[in-house]
Amino acid sequence: MASDIPHNGLPQPTGLPSDITLFLAKPRHGRTPVPLPGHFAAIWESYAAALDTAPLDADTRRAYASRLRGYLSWIAATDTGSGDPLTGAGARDGAVRDYRTHLQTVLKRKPTTINAHLAAIADFYTRSTSLGVPLAARLDLPRTVSRALDAREQTRWLRACERCLNPRDRALGYLAFYAGLRISEMVALDCQDVPLSARKGQIIIRSGKGRRYREIPAHPILRENLHLWIHIERTAWTNAETNPALFLNRRGERLSVKGADDILNTLATDAGIEEFTSHRPRHTFGTNLVRAGNDIVLAAELMGHARLETTRRYTLPTAADSQSAINALPTDN
């Protein structure tokens, strides 16, 4: 069935793909879609249909469609001044900036949420109109401290590694904590990348993020456990003589990222650490380096960071630091 052309010139869809139709018919549990009057509903449906072929994952498509619905509903209920925000560049920019203010001051949304809405709106104007990206700056985000393990969690992590009966898994846990490698870097290691002697050792990252090369001295505990794994335990594993990978799975293949992630999560569960990700030991490594008084340039080199600003976040105060500072203020007692 042919569709009409709304007054703003944007086409209405003649039919929606099945998954978009399902999205329209079955909104997410607990959410009631914002109602859209007249031609605004057709504009939204057209955009939702266009999202179906966009190179975005399903959650992003759903989020973009939901955020645009909110923006169109706000336009429909608001006097945005002169011009149509859906057809004029100047009116578009003013409307998007006003909507940003509305999200910030009326709906009390956080900066990250507001920027996510602005991203969806920019995608709409780029994908479904000829106007292009609106001239509306994103909000500055508050600097966030890294998700490092606190002192008690670190102790529990090390104890979980110590009592781990699998020498491969134990070495992996110590490697994450004492070398701060990304999980992809750990599984990419070959045995020759870990030269060890009685007194020292190195972890050589030949192609880290951004293809950066770096060398990390091995902590004594890490060196001891890597030596045990490489020279004693690993030799009995399938394909140990022919597969150069440092970490093998039970089939004699290189341990996958998922396999390594499962191992680290098992250690975290044993340590009683909640909200764990494989990146938290890396954050802990960086935080420990900086807070021990080491030069930030050295920390950046050991972490494999291209920018010092990335490393600088490990100097930011934690919530516990802030609370301690407040608690230390004088009282009249």
Q: What is the pTM of this model?
A: 0.60
Q: With contact defined as beta carbons under 8 Å apart, do 316 and 226 qualify?
A: no
Spatial distance between the Cα atoms of 319 and 323, rounded to a whole number of angstroms: 6
The letter for the amino acid at 9 is G
In a domain, 322, yes or no: no
- How far apart CA 33 and CA 47 sit, in angstroms, is 16
Distance (Å) of CA 88 to CA 94, 129, 262: 10, 10, 52
Give the pLDDT score at 316: 77
- 292 with 200, same domain: the answer is yes
pLDDT band at 68 (very low <50, low <70, confident <90, very high): very high
Total domain count for the chain?
2
- Please report, rounded to a whole number, the percentage of residues in the chain having pLDDT higher than 90: 54
152 carries an active-site annotation: no
Identified catalytic residue from 47, 71, 99, 314 = 314
Out of 110, 209, 231, 250, pick the active-site residue: 209
Of all residues in the chain, the percent with pLDDT exceeding 70 is 88
Catalytic hit among 67, 168, 170, 182: 182
pLDDT for residue 25: 37
Arithmetic mean of pLDDT, 168-180: 97
Is the domain of 53 the same as that of 181?
A: no
Query: Considering the domain boundaries, does residue 176 fall inside one?
Result: yes
- Residue 306: inside a domain: yes
Note if 7 is an active site residue. no
Whether 108 is catalytic is no
In a domain, 323, yes or no: no
> Which member of 92, 117, 282, 283 is catalytic?
282
* Residue 181, pLDDT above cutoff 70: yes
> Do 120 and 162 share a domain, yes or no?
no
Residue type, 277: T
Catalytic residue check, 307? no
Catalytic residue among 102, 279, 312, 313: 279
- Catalytic: 71? no
Distance CA 185, CA 116 (A): 30
Answer yes or no: do 159 and 206 share one domain. yes
In whole numbers, what is the pLDDT of the chain averaged over residues? 86
Domain assignment of residue 265, given as a range: 151-315
* pLDDT tens, position by position, 199-244: 899 999 998 888 889 999 999 999 999 999 999 999 999 999 999 9
User: Is residue 146 a part of any domain in this protein?
Assistant: no
Residue 14 binned pLDDT confidence (cut-offs 50, 70, 90): very low
Residue 209 catalytic? Answer: yes
Label residue 143 by pLDDT band (50, 70, 90): low
